[in-house]
Amino acid sequence: MDKRFAVMDLGTNTFHLLIAEGSIEDFKEIVHKHIAVKLGEGGINKGIILPAAFGRGMDTMKDFKRQINEHNVQKISAIATSALRNASNGKDFVDEVKKETGIEIEVVDGEREATFIYEGVRASGLLSDDHSSLVMDIGGGSVEFIVCNNRKLIWKQSFEIGAARLLEKFHHNDPIPPAAIEALYHYLEDELTSLFEAVKSFKINNLIGSSGAFETFAELAAFKRNEEFDLKKIKSYEFDYDELFAITGGLILSSHAEREANLLIVPVRVDMIVVASLITRYVVQKLDINHVALCTYSLKEGVLARMMS
């Protein structure tokens, strides 16, 4: 039997468990779970994991441990990102998980997180040898931007402006009012200065959205086109530029009830998809990007690539 690997990506909104065997070029998924833990709920901008979120996180980690045992996994990696690296009680969570499950969580900084995302996107085969792309990964706590090609990672930075943070800061009324959108755009203008400076040196015409909100955009686009669509069976999806702007525009103008009633939007993204749409549109317009694609591979596949090699 092939060696089995388990990767846990412990994000601000969602905890992922991927159990796989084989090689990164053609691995077989044994388990692929994503649980809406909402670790940052209510405390993301205060730098604390609140008791209810702490409890949900612990329950999920115990369940992940049970599944890892059930499937005879030989090698485990658990990676935690923005919520746990910034929370004053993040270490308490890491210690409690070790005590209750034996799982050792590695809390990574934004730079290392960006490197794993690059390695995941690269493993998908979507990057070109010749042209540089801008990869954007919108998480709940942070957003990573990476300038890269298939041969190398050229520039990377992690910004603590994830969808859960922006939601809590700006999206207080629904639909989100124009004044809040304007305030959010001013905030992004200030926060992303180093990104805008960095990309001046490169000819970037291509944005790759790594999993997350871009999966929802792709599902909505495919539904509009009447296309068969299964995220588990694809590594990438090319957006029609006008169609992407129509979809994100519709999400920005929508009410909570409308988004909740749309079965293509997973519950954890019902509200965060609005600010994710806004940051996507802002970056695409600001950088004058003409081609946008989804890559379904991200941090966990990057970690898996390292483990399998």
Q: The CATH number of the domain where 197 resides is what?
A: 3.30.420.150
Last residue of a domain, one of 107, 136, 169: 107
How much is the pTM? 0.96
Give the angle subtended at the CA of 224 by the CAs of 222 and 230, to the nearest 5°: 25
Query: Domain tally for the chain?
Result: 2
**pLDDT of the residue at 220:** 96
- The pLDDT, as a whole number, for residue 178 is 98
The reply to whether 93 and 198 lie within a common domain is: no
Q: Is 59 helix (H, G, I), strand (E, B) or coil?
A: helix
Confidence bin at 1 (pLDDT 50/70/90): low
Angle at 162 between CA 156 and CA 166, to 5 degrees: 140
**What's the mean pLDDT when you consider all of the chain?**
96
Range(s) of the domain holding residue 21: 4-107
Question: Structure tokens of 96?
Answer: 């409690």
Is residue 186 a part of any domain in this protein? yes
Asked, for residue 66, whether it belongs to a domain, the answer is yes
Query: Within a 10 A sphere around the Cβ of 232, how many other Cβ atoms?
Result: 7
Burial grade of 223 (CB within 10 A; 0-12, 13-18, 19 or more) = middle
Amino acid at the residue 45: N
Under 8 Å between Cβ of 43 and 53: yes
Cβ atoms of residues 36 and 71 within 8 Å: no
- Of the residues 107, 135, 169, the one at which a domain ends: 107
Q: Is residue 257 part of a domain?
A: yes
* pLDDT tens digits for range 189-232: 999 999 999 999 888 989 999 989 999 999 999 999 998 888 88
pLDDT tens column, 138-178: 999 999 999 999 999 999 999 999 999 999 999 999 999 99
Residue 62: give its domain's CATH number: 3.30.420.40
Domain annotation covers residue 304: no
Long-range contacts of 230-238 (CB under 8 A, 24+ apart): 231/296, 232/29, 232/32, 234/296, 235/124, 235/125, 235/126, 235/295, 235/296, 235/297, 236/124, 236/126, 236/293, 236/294, 236/295, 236/296, 237/293, 237/294, 237/296, 238/291, 238/292, 238/293
Say whether 304 sits in a helix, a strand or coil: helix
pLDDT tens digits, one per residue of 70-85:
999 999 999 999 999 9
12 secondary structure, DSSP code: S
Among the ranges given (121-125, 166-170, 203-207, 249-253), the one the predictor scored with the smallest mean pLDDT: 203-207
Whether 81 is covered by a domain: the verdict is yes
Rg (CA), the chain: 19
| 271 is a domain residue | yes
Last residue of a domain, one of 41, 76, 107: 107
Q: Are both 237 and 170 inside the same structural domain? A: yes
Q: Is residue 90 predicted with pLDDT exceeding 90?
A: yes
Indicate if 175 and 78 belong to the same structural domain.
Answer: no
